[in-house]
A = this chain, B = another copy of it.
């Protein structure tokens, strides 16, 4: 009658090792670790001492299995290298670093199908919460989110009909505000240059169009877009295309700051004076916008805050006090700079 002790486990201490050492029941150890308030001061001390001495670390897999709930935040973003999402993710990490929650990031590559697949994978773990970028999920993905059985926060946008909660801002308004700024500065032949053209870019384009139409200045040939992923070099190329199409262009609203920077560099190369001959507005307001020469006007978005706020809302919902405000609009801020100061 030998005890088969630790058939597979690498001999790591388990909760009953701790319990034995502390002279208590296993369940009390479990409680001492998760709800310290429910265990008497004395025992708690004893237990923590035993934990320390044995170097006990709870097994999150066993925990998840027994409680039917993993201490994991699932995060779905379309890109990892895009600075915007990197900032959001950083906000999420920073807000969660002192919590017991682990983070699992999925990269959807801007694909609805991939998003659906990842949602399936993430859902099978019974995560504590899900944070997903965007509001344009496929019907299948939306159903998965609705049945996830955990708080869900959609991020980056605003809208009336979130799955559960929503934090972001209006890309349409951002695009319109940027364009109106150029109009106010006196630019007339204002182009739109955009890469990737995901749903958010589309909404910024729609905002641009609304502003241009309101001014009676919209022309389809002012719009230059591509589904290719955004980059500084692409910005330069697209601007050249745009100028070839419309040589009288006197301003551009760029889909994002990378594109804007590419446009600025092309202006330097082509000896086009910014802001005199060409006005430039970017989107997101990365650090470099204020440093470039000339500095570039941009629409500042609160990316890091979107991450922290999404986590805060999810944590509140987990704790049982779901925020009454299910949709949070963090807005944006136009940062006028030299590139439009003529």
The residues of A with any CB-CB pair to B shorter than 8 Å are 8-10, 57-62, 64-65, 67-68, 70, 80-81, 83, 86-87, 89-90, 93, 97, 102-105, 107, 120-121, 123-126, 149, 231-233, 235-236, 258, 261-262, 265, 268-269, 287-288, 290-293
Which chain B residue has the least Cβ–Cβ distance from A235? B291
CB distance from A113 to the nearest CB of B (A): 12
Which of the residues B105, B123, B288 comes within 8 Å of A261, measured between beta carbons?
B288
Q: Are A81 and B70 in contact, with the CB atoms below 8 A? A: no
Please, how many angstroms separate the alpha-carbon atoms of A87 and B81 in the complex? 6
Which of the residues B10, B67, B120, B236 comes within 8 Å of A57, measured between beta carbons?
B120
Please, how many angstroms separate the alpha-carbon atoms of A124 and B62 in the complex? 11
In the complex, which residues of chain B have a beta carbon less than 8 angstroms from the beta carbon of A107? 90, 93, 97
Which chain B residue has the least Cβ–Cβ distance from A86? B81
4 smallest beta-carbon distances between A and B, as pairs: A268-B293, A232-B288, A61-B64, A8-B68
Q: Are B89 and A80 in contact, with the CB atoms below 8 A? A: yes
CB distance from A208 to the nearest CB of B (A): 24
Please, how many angstroms separate the alpha-carbon atoms of A64 and B124 in the complex? 13
Which of the residues B57, B124, B231, B291 comes within 8 Å of A287, measured between beta carbons?
B231
- Contacts A105-B105, A232-B288, A236-B291 given: A9-B68 contact, CB under 8 Å? yes
In the complex, which residues of chain B have a beta carbon less than 8 angstroms from the beta carbon of A86? 80-81, 86
In the complex, which residues of chain B have a beta carbon less than 8 angstroms from the beta carbon of A59? 65, 124-126
CB distance from A117 to the nearest CB of B (A): 9
Which of the residues B60, B67, B68, B105 comes within 8 Å of A103, measured between beta carbons?
B105
Q: Are A61 and B57 in contact, with the CB atoms below 8 A? A: no
CB distance from A288 to the nearest CB of B (A): 4
Please, how many angstroms separate the alpha-carbon atoms of A16 and B172 in the complex? 50
How many copies the complex holds: the figure is: 2
CB distance from A259 to the nearest CB of B (A): 11
Please, how many angstroms separate the alpha-carbon atoms of A9 and B70 in the complex? 12
Q: Are A61 and B287 in contact, with the CB atoms below 8 A? A: no
Which of the residues B93, B104, B125, B258 comes within 8 Å of A80, measured between beta carbons?
B93
- Contacts A81-B86, A104-B104 given: A61-B125 contact, CB under 8 Å? yes
Q: Are A288 and B68 in contact, with the CB atoms below 8 A? A: no
Please, how many angstroms separate the alpha-carbon atoms of A233 and B124 in the complex? 44
Which chain B residue has the least Cβ–Cβ distance from A94? B107
Please, how many angstroms separate the alpha-carbon atoms of A59 and B253 in the complex? 48
Q: Are A102 and B102 in contact, with the CB atoms below 8 A? A: no
In the complex, which residues of chain B have a beta carbon less than 8 angstroms from the beta carbon of A232? 287-288, 291-292
Q: Are A121 and B102 in contact, with the CB atoms below 8 A? A: yes
Q: Are A265 and B287 in contact, with the CB atoms below 8 A? A: no
Which chain B residue has the least Cβ–Cβ distance from A114? B97
CB distance from A171 to the nearest CB of B (A): 21
In the complex, which residues of chain B have a beta carbon less than 8 angstroms from the beta carbon of A57? 120-121, 123-124
Q: Are B9 and A60 in contact, with the CB atoms below 8 A? A: no
